[in-house]
């Protein structure tokens, strides 16, 4: 499986995006949502632990300091130790709410309370690192008042919002991949994995170009991935593609030092948008 995918990956890298900008050094921070693990009512506890540890190994092999966003309701007796293991490897954790509420469908009070419950659960893992927060589904509020209310609450409580520039909805591939894995259909797994990698490369190039159009330079990007099964199989291929195409892995803190994250958020509504799309949005 790996050899064929690497061949496809390298060929695609050569035939796509061969412009001057692509040859320059670029920076990207790797972030993972939905820690510690997802079962999709299919994977047992052993399978979940194994895929988490595979991802952890891949990050180490690529010398990456990642930030993972914990959903409190996913923390169970069998997987809670994985968060400590993640932190002990030098990675950071952030708050992704306790219930993974869609902010579009709940009140500010409920959403705020859910953040606080999760904060109490994971605060021991912060150590001396910043308190990062990421909105589930990247939904920041379907009205201006809701958007601004939670934004102000987060600032007042010393949370740093972790935006995303490269948003790919890669979780959609994982759902189908988990089914193929359950059915032990290796051919289907390879097919989905190939589609996933092609999709991730296309999305990365799209948002790379968008950032360049906005700033006339390569901006520090933040990639949204999930701590899920498909990434345990194909994250190594994806990270290798980034390295092959002159991307440098940086921390979330380093990425946020880019002035592009100081721009005004112009969007409110029911969509989950990349930060780049939010700052250029026109109502």
- Please state, as a whole number, how many other Cβ atoms lie within 10 Å of the Cβ of residue 240: 17
* 170: CATH: 3.20.20.370
Taking a C-beta distance cutoff of 8 angstroms, is the pair 48, 76 a contact?
A: no
> Residue 228 has which token pair?
């899920």
What is the model's pLDDT at position 158? 96
How many distinct structural domains can be found in the chain?
1
Which structural domain range is residue 274 located in?
2-279
* Confidence check: pLDDT of 3 > 50: no
| Residue 91: strand, helix, or coil | coil
- Short-list 207, 255, 268, 232, CA closest to 66: 255
| Residue 117: strand, helix, or coil | helix
> Residue 100 has which token pair?
């993974």
Taking a C-beta distance cutoff of 8 angstroms, is the pair 103, 141 a contact?
A: yes
Counting residues of the chain whose pLDDT is more than 70, the rounded percentage is 92
- What is the average per-residue pLDDT within 168-187? 95
* Confidence check: pLDDT of 181 > 70: yes
- pLDDT tens-digit series, residues 45-91: 999 999 999 999 999 999 999 999 999 999 999 999 999 999 999 99
- Please state, as a whole number, how many other Cβ atoms lie within 10 Å of the Cβ of residue 88: 10
The pTM of this model reads 0.93
- Please state, as a whole number, how many other Cβ atoms lie within 10 Å of the Cβ of residue 22: 17
> Residue 188 has which token pair?
């289907």
Torsion over CA: 88, 91, 92, 96 (sign): negative
Taking a C-beta distance cutoff of 8 angstroms, is the pair 95, 132 a contact?
A: yes
Q: Using only C-alpha atoms, what is the Rg of the chain?
A: 18
- Short-list 173, 182, 171, 169, CA closest to 41: 182
- Short-list 144, 98, 102, CA closest to 118: 98
Counting residues of the chain whose pLDDT is more than 90, the rounded percentage is 88
Phi (first) and psi of residue 185, to 5 degrees: -100, 85
Question: CA of 13: how far to CAs of 20, 204, 240, 248, in Å?
Answer: 14, 12, 11, 16
* Confidence check: pLDDT of 18 > 60: no
């Amino acid at each position: 499986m790996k050899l064929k995918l690497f061949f496809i990956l390298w060929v695609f890298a050569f035939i796509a995006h061969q412009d001057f900008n692509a040859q320059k050094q670029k920076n990207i921070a790797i972030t993972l949502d939905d820690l510690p693990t997802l079962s999709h009512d299919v994977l047992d506890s052993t399978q979940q632990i194994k895929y988490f540890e595979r991802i952890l190994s891949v990050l180490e092999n690529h010398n990456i300091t990642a930030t993972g966003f914990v959903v409190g309701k996913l923390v169970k007796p069998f997987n809670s130790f994985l968060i400590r293991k993640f932190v002990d490897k030098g990675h950071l954790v952030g708050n992704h709410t306790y219930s993974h509420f869609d902010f579009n469908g709940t009140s500010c009070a409920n959403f705020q309370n859910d953040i606080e419950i999760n904060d109490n659960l994971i605060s021991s893992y912060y150590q001396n690192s910043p308190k990062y927060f990421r909105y589930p589904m990247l939904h920041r509020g379907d009205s201006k008042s809701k958007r601004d209310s939670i934004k102000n609450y987060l600032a007042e409580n010393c949370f740093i919002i972790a935006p995303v520039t490269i948003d790919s909805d890669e979780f959609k591939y994982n759902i189908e991949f988990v089914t193929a894995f359950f059915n032990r259909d290796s051919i289907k797994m390879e097919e989905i994995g190939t589609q996933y990698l092609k999709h991730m490369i296309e999305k990365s190039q799209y948002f790379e170009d968008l950032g360049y159009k906005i700033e006339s330079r390569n901006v520090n990007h933040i990639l949204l991935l999930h701590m899920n099964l498909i990434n345990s199989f194909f994250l190594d291929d994806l990270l290798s593609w980034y390295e092959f195409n002159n991307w440098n892995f940086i921390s979330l803190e380093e990425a946020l030092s880019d002035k592009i994250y100081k721009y005004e958020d112009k969007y409110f509504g029911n969509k989950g948008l990349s930060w780049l799309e939010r700052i250029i949005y026109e109502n």
